[in-house]
Amino acid sequence: MPLLAKEVLPISSKDILSWCFENRSAFPQDKPIYADCADPRRSISAGQAYKLVRRLVAGLRAFGIKKGDCVCVHAFNDIYYPVLVQGIVGAGAVFVGTNPGYTDFELQHALKVSHAKLIITEDELVGTLLKAGRDVDISPSQVLLFADQDQSPLRSWRSLLQHGEQDWVSFDDENLSKSTTAFLMFSSGTTGLPKAAQVTHHNLIAQHTILYDNPRHPEAFEDRRIYPMPAFHIATAGVLHFSPLRAGFASFVMRRFELEPWLENTEKFGVTLMVLAPPLVVATLALARQKPNFVRHCLRNVKRAVCGAAPLDRTTQLEFQKFLPVDCPCTQGWGMTEASGVGSFFYYPESDETGSVGRWLPNIDTKLVDDHGLEVGPYNARGELCIRGPTVIKGYLDNPEANRRDWDSDGFFHTGDVLYGDEKSGRFYVVDRKKELIKVRAFQVAPSEIEGVLLLHPQIVDAAVIGVPNGNGELPKAFVVLSAGSKVLEEDLKAWVASRLSKYKHLEGGVQFVDAVPKSPSGKILKRQLRDEEVSRRREAKL
């Protein structure tokens, strides 16, 4: 039997903007909700956002944007990024966020899939964008600059603000809320090109309601957050673009992630809630080996730290905990684009020292299945996580094959993540991605376990492990980033792992030293890229 939600909260059937702005009396509307870390004088209050949204709605309509059209923001973080998103959604259109690091091939795919009618981008990204746009019939007239001034032949996005104010598209209908797409978020998945996940108004409202409007878990401290991770990704977009309008969260925006400035800003702006990805934790710990007092000082105001986007080794989590204030819990959560961000975590102030991703949130049904789709558990067994609930996306855009494959007849989305549930505590644990498990003889090896052991080594900055072919099976191979000046050899690291893990988990596939481990913007290790490179390397070696 599936594990049904133990608690069900009512979810509004309104459009996301009406739902956000109906709460305007809950906090001062002149309070800044977005501030620029580089220049705090640049800020936007909820009241200013309200007027800007109405002006953007009028401007987008004057530009020719209609209900259901896609508008792409191809830019780095800025305080006006979420306001653009709010205006796009308010006009009845769909926000498409793309990675500023995309090649023209990757960007072309995103523009083609989304059929974007307008793209807002930065000067330094225009070249790649126009090159990609030519191949999908996007002309310069469909491009606006995310800058204050026009730069011929391109006009500034601020030209959209010159058409007065208009009401946003509003509704109070459950079917409309569930069917109306607000975001198209590109999900890398495990096969093929990224798929366009359709995140609805209902998804976004449910996500906020479950996380922040649960009456059983009222706010225990002022929520002040910093956003170093990209605004196009669900890990940031699911909160940054609308939750401050609803709840008045103070949100401090960094253009790009830089380690020491991020930590300095965390202290400077009194950040109380840290949302982390594993690379941020690993990088902070590497810096803490050199500057422990600096790191502790920068984290002194933090009340709660939550890590997600990818599994974090328990030992690494506990090591990071040492640099946080005494009463500040550091916990993990599980989420993905298809779940609108978060599906499980620990409500404050619960702590965890086991490496769990917590318990399932209200309104979320789950089950674990084996390789044949048969249920196991839901506790005391390992299986692929399947999830159902109001935060699960309505499907992938124009991809019926993936929709048939990834949703079953009972409405559960098959995540590809392998989890284990402990019945006594109710806590769940990520074992690994289903397609990333390494099959060594009769055993299945979780790369994250070996990665965790490698990261314990004092001279390792980062590491990733994949399976490489060996007869009818695979062997674990590590890709390792060493600290500056390290003299560690491959055999040293093989011995390090061999002294800590069972024989079938040894690095018999080898160790390769690299300058960096490839990762997605949310911090997930790009295992597929490593595997593809390994295949190419082996093919060339045979020639």
Give the residue from 205, 229, 246 where a domain finishes: 205
Give the residue from 383, 400, 433 where a domain finishes: 433
Same structural domain, 413 and 475: no
Residue the block writes with tokens 């996500």: 207
DSSP-derived 3-state class of residue 385: strand
Same structural domain, 412 and 463: no
Q: At what angle do helices 278-288 and 314-321 cross, to 10 degrees?
A: 50
pLDDT in the model for residue 10: 98
Helix (H) or strand (E) holding 205: helix 201-212
Same structural domain, 83 and 176: yes
Residue the block writes with tokens 């988990």: 505
Residue the block writes with tokens 């009028």: 58
127 located within any domain: yes
Strand partners, 531: none
pLDDT tens for each residue of the chain, 543 residues long: 899 999 999 999 999 999 999 999 999 999 999 999 999 999 999 999 999 999 999 999 999 999 999 999 999 999 999 999 999 999 999 999 998 988 888 899 999 999 999 999 999 999 999 999 998 999 999 999 999 999 989 999 999 999 999 999 999 999 999 999 999 998 864 445 689 999 999 999 999 999 999 999 988 999 999 999 999 999 999 999 999 999 999 999 999 999 999 999 999 999 999 999 888 998 999 999 999 999 999 999 999 999 998 788 899 999 999 999 999 999 999 999 999 999 999 999 999 999 999 999 999 999 999 988 999 989 999 999 999 999 999 999 999 999 999 999 999 999 999 999 999 999 999 987 777 778 887 677 888 889 989 999 999 999 999 999 887 678 999 999 999 999 999 999 999 999 988 888 999 999 999 999 998 877 888 888 999 899 898 888 876
Helix (H) or strand (E) holding 294: helix 292-298
What's the Rg (C-alpha) of the chain? 23
* Domain assignment of residue 390, given as a range: 255-433
What does the DSSP assignment read for 428-456? Answer: EEEEEEGGG-EEETTEEE-HHHHHHHHHT
Same structural domain, 201 and 72: yes
CATH number (domain holding residue 534): 3.30.300.30
- Measured from the Cβ of residue 157, the count of other Cβ atoms closer than 10 Å reads 22
User: What pTM does this model have?
Assistant: 0.87
Structure tokens that stand for 208 in this block: 């906020």
285 located within any domain: yes
Give the residue from 433, 464, 485 where a domain finishes: 433
DSSP-derived 3-state class of residue 241: coil
Q: Are 53 and 102 in contact (CB under 8 A)?
A: no
64 DSSP 8-state letter: T
Same structural domain, 451 and 507: yes
